Amino acid sequence: MVIAVDAVGIRIGGAATIVRELIPELARLRPRWTFHLFLLPPGERYFADPQPEGNLRVEYVPCQFGQVSRLAWGLRGFSQRAKAINAHAALCLSNVAFPHRDVPQVLLVHQTNAVLPTEASLPFSTRLKMGLLRALIRSSVRRSAFTVAQTQGMARVLSKRVPSALPRIRVIPTIGQCLGDAKECRQSKRALIDSQPHPRISYVSHPSHHKNHLILLKAMAEVRRFFPSARLLLTLEPPGVPCAAYRGVRSAASEIYKTVDELGLAENVAWLGMLERSEVFYLLHHSDLFVFPSLSESFGIPLVEAMAAGCPVVAADLPYARELCGSAAKYFNPRDASQLARVVTELLPDHAEVLRMRQASFDRSKVFSSEVICTQFCELLELAASRAHQAIEVQHP
């Protein structure tokens, strides 16, 4: 089988992890298949190409004009290329599937903010963008052979928005525990992490309003009273350092920097910048706690990464986190900074509980087996291709 994989439009974040980890694993699991991956050129995204496999081919698709180019690619370019390579099925990783009569599509929806109602407090441009993307996702779910949600909660949201698609929605988690070799860390990043005093509290996330950094910072101001040397390690660029990856989220980043100044947290926050996968593993492995206050997630890859690294997890008390972490994590109200501070300050000195949580995290991470996850994706692609072939035979006996 030939599978066309549309990842054009993916630049950063959890979707980039999916591209780098999932696609090579699929290629290894199905060595007789050919996977043709369409990506933005390296200069237009902030992650490296997936590890090469003999049956994995990468083709770059420039999108110099942003969403206009992405739309043109979806409406014409992808269909033409998928047909040219004789694709039996397509795996669409960019939340959107465009009309293609000849190639059945399996759609992965991972942009939870485009599906859930948009908060009125967000900038108008953000709300408009989310509204348009929400409409595109709904139409994509309707036309796809199958739609993949990463959690049961996300599946419920999709089925509520598009009831007719319920029989074609499947729940498949995301690979998140393939963290690479810590020896591959850049020396500068390793030294920066090692130089931070304990206790180290880490949060792996890009700056976006729903990632809820401000609550974490407010909680940190309270934690500091009990643990003056505490450090909050953030995977954000330092204030004043320009970062092209923050395009579209600069207002959120500015609020984070401003809050750090207002709370006098400059000495308690370490700005690590963007990290490679191996560096994320090193950070998590050398952190005392991993805190995840995000208000909405389609999955929550950093939670699985933290558990795989054996790092104790303190997570927002929301369905996505409960579904992923189960009893391995401690939970808090993501809108209550004081409650988060209490959980952290009570947990840090309890060495026996921290040790138990480390083991519980590691054990829980085994639920997200890459082989099981990839097998489910492959079976779904086979089913989509088979049904499409049967439909053609019915039309042209």
- CATH assignment of the domain containing 88: 3.40.50.2000
The shares of helix, strand and coil residues in the chain, as percent rounded to the nearest 5, are 50, 15, 35
Number of structural domains in the chain: 2
At residue 165, does pLDDT exceed 80? yes
Question: Tell me: the pLDDT tens digits for 355-385?
Answer: 999 999 999 998 888 889 999 999 999 999 9
Task: Output the pLDDT for position 394.
Answer: 44
Mean of the per-residue pLDDT values of the chain: 90
Task: Output the pLDDT for position 120.
Answer: 58
135-150 average pLDDT score = 91
Task: Output the pLDDT for position 182.
Answer: 62
pLDDT band at 13 (very low <50, low <70, confident <90, very high): confident
Residues 253 and 124 in one domain: no
Residues 347 and 374 in one domain: no
Model's pTM, two decimal places?
Answer: 0.86
Residues 226 and 117 in one domain: no
110-135 average pLDDT score = 70
At residue 251, does pLDDT exceed 90? no
Residues 93 and 189 in one domain: no
Residues 21 and 136 in one domain: yes
**169-171: strand order across its sheet:** 56-60, 34-39, 2-6, 89-92, 105-108, 146-149, 169-171
Distance between CA atoms of residues 152 and 365, nearest Å: 17
Q: Which residue has the higher pLDDT, 112 or 17?
A: 17
Distance between CA atoms of residues 133 and 16, nearest Å: 18
Mean pLDDT lowest among 70-79, 93-102, 196-205, 336-345 = 93-102
Task: Output the pLDDT for position 71.
Answer: 84
Q: Which residue has the higher pLDDT, 105 or 130?
A: 105
Question: Tell me: the pLDDT tens digits for 276-296?
Answer: 888 999 999 999 999 999 998
Residues 149 and 60 in one domain: yes
Picking from 35, 28, 25, the residue whose alpha carbon sits closest to that of residue 57 is 35
Residues 307 and 240 in one domain: yes
Domain that holds residue 25: 2-175+369-395
CA dihedral over 141, 142, 147, 151, signed as positive or negative: positive
Q: Which helix (H) or strand (E) holds 322?
A: helix 319-325
Residues 206 and 352 in one domain: yes
Residues 139 and 83 in one domain: yes
Residues 150 and 214 in one domain: no
Residues 380 and 298 in one domain: no
Beta strands 105-108 and 146-149: pairing type? parallel
Mean pLDDT lowest among 88-97, 116-125, 248-257 = 116-125
Distance between CA atoms of residues 314 and 177, nearest Å: 18
Residues 231 and 139 in one domain: no
Do the beta carbons of residue 249 and residue 287 sit within 8 Å?
Answer: no
Task: Output the pLDDT for position 386.
Answer: 92
